[in-house]
Amino acid sequence: MADPTGITTHPLREALIQEAHARPFQSLETPLRVSQLVLHTGTRGRSAEVSHMQALCERLDHAPPPADAGNFVVQGRGFRLRWERHTEFSTYTVFADGMGADPFDQPAVGALPDDWLGALPGDLLAAMHVAVTDGGQTPLDSDTLGRQFHQESLAGSSCAGGAASVWTDFLADEQGFVRFLVVNDRLNPMQAGRLVQRLLELETYRIMALLGFPLARELSPDISDMETRLGTLMDRLSTVSDLADERELLTALSQLSARVERLMARTNFRFSATAAYGTLVRRRLNALREQRIEGVSTLDEFMERRLAPALDTCVHMGERLERVSKRLSRAANLLRTRVDVALEAQNRDLLESMNRRARLQLRLQETVEGLSVVILSYYTVSLISFAFKGLGAAGRIPNPDVATALSIPVVVTVVTLGVRFVRRRVIRDDADAG
């Protein structure tokens, strides 16, 4: 995209501008039939969907979608197919003009080849039929509604400021499709397109929001068990006093914490997505601008009665997991503190014991040094005595015994100084080595 100002354009500018126009509303002329299939494809699988759309385009002699396409429209003979890729699901919406006596007798999805339809990549999550009839030409009475919907689950309302009425039971028919009947009184084509799109999104996001509900019910016993175990461990924490038992308790808390973290990693995305889809459902309901039809529940009331408890359950389970995780963290920190304090006390006692042993060793060393001085002095004086006696026999020393006696203080002094020198040298060398 060129910038007339001459300023360097951000590489994402064009994509951001086009994002608001990525999924425009369709302009729909009444009467018409709409069918939509919602397939769960996960975060991957775009290439398989693009290839499948390319195969359909080859059969219809239609230009294929680009390899990086996220949505694409195929115009066929008597129908129009719109494919849209979302974060974790894809939608295939078929539009067909005209309608027979029965609004759902010939659904729009019947225009697609059966073999191509059966090979769609992904798992089917939702399927809807929307029939938009002309209010001036379609009499609407209890018999007509009774043939199309289950009376015990019937929901309907006047929408778009009274310009149309919408009827559904949110139940799957024999073919597995949820039916919506729209009676158009004075909607223009763009208004009709917006209303149909909101109804399709309402059902799609309702089903996507409910994906977290079975997971929440599945986790309920596990969370209850973890809460019970945590309570038991906390009771032990208040009574345990032995260091070995504290270490065992810390290990149990760590194992329980790892179990909680695994569950949170498994559920965080799903529960967050449930909350997001629930918000989208609420927004689509508000956009309908419903007005009550006497004797019938509105779509908003149906959702509040059926959907809201499921969403609340998911939120509650997520909050319970979060609370258990925080309690485990506090308990583990408390126990680690207790273990650290006990270890510090043990280390203090050990240091005191080592100090006592060092003092004993010092005294023993001093005793040994004294004995060493005596022994070394004795043998040194004995050697000197032999030397002096030899010199006395040679006439060099007049009295060898006196000379030996005089040498004793000198020998003792020299030996003492020598032993001390050796000890200081050993201590210095040991300190340098350490």
pLDDT in tens, the chain (434 residues): 555 666 787 777 777 776 666 667 788 888 999 999 999 987 667 888 889 999 999 998 889 888 878 888 999 888 999 999 888 899 999 999 988 778 888 899 999 999 999 999 989 999 999 999 987 666 666 667 778 888 888 999 999 888 999 999 999 998 999 999 999 988 999 999 999 999 999 999 999 999 999 999 998 899 899 888 888 888 887 777 777 777 788 888 888 888 888 988 888 899 999 999 999 999 999 999 999 988 889 999 988 888 899 999 999 999 999 998 888 888 878 777 777 777 787 788 888 888 888 778 777 776 777 777 778 777 787 888 877 777 777 777 777 777 777 778 887 788 778 777 777 777 777 667 65
Residues, the chain: 434
Contact 159, 148 (CB under 8 A): no
Q: What is the pLDDT of residue 280?
A: 93
Of 215, 311, 205, 225, nearest to 264 (Cα)?
A: 215
Instruction: Please confirm whether the linkage preceding 24 is cis (ω < 30° from 0).
Output: no
Contact 121, 45 (CB under 8 A): yes
Q: What is the pLDDT of residue 237?
A: 77
What pairing do the DSSP bridges indicate for beta strands 89-97 and 32-40?
Answer: antiparallel
Q: What contacts 125, CB < 8 A, 6 or more positions away?
A: 38, 39, 40, 89, 207, 208, 211
**Using CA atoms, how far apart are residues 233 and 229, in angstroms rounded to an integer?**
6
Instruction: Please confirm whether the linkage preceding 189 is cis (ω < 30° from 0).
Output: no
Q: What is the pLDDT of residue 18?
A: 66
Q: What is the pLDDT of residue 201?
A: 94
Contact 419, 369 (CB under 8 A): yes
Segment holding 285, helix H or strand E: helix 243-288
Strand order in the sheet with 89-97: 71-76, 79-85, 89-97, 32-40, 123-134, 178-184, 164-172, 155-159
DSSP letter assigned to residue 164: E
The SS3 of residue 126 is strand
Q: What is the pLDDT of residue 253?
A: 84
Q: What is the pLDDT of residue 212?
A: 92
Q: What is the pLDDT of residue 142?
A: 65
Contact 324, 219 (CB under 8 A): no
Contact 398, 428 (CB under 8 A): no
The SS3 of residue 290 is coil
**Using CA atoms, how far apart are residues 276 and 279, in angstroms rounded to an integer?**
5
Task: Residue 361: count other Cβ atoms within 10 Å of its Cβ.
Answer: 10
Q: What is the pLDDT of residue 95?
A: 95
**Using CA atoms, how far apart are residues 65 and 85, in angstroms rounded to an integer?**
13
Q: What is the pLDDT of residue 19?
A: 63
Longest pairwise C-alpha distance within the chain? 158
Q: What contacts 133, CB < 8 A, 6 or more positions away?
A: 30, 31, 99, 103, 181, 182, 183, 184
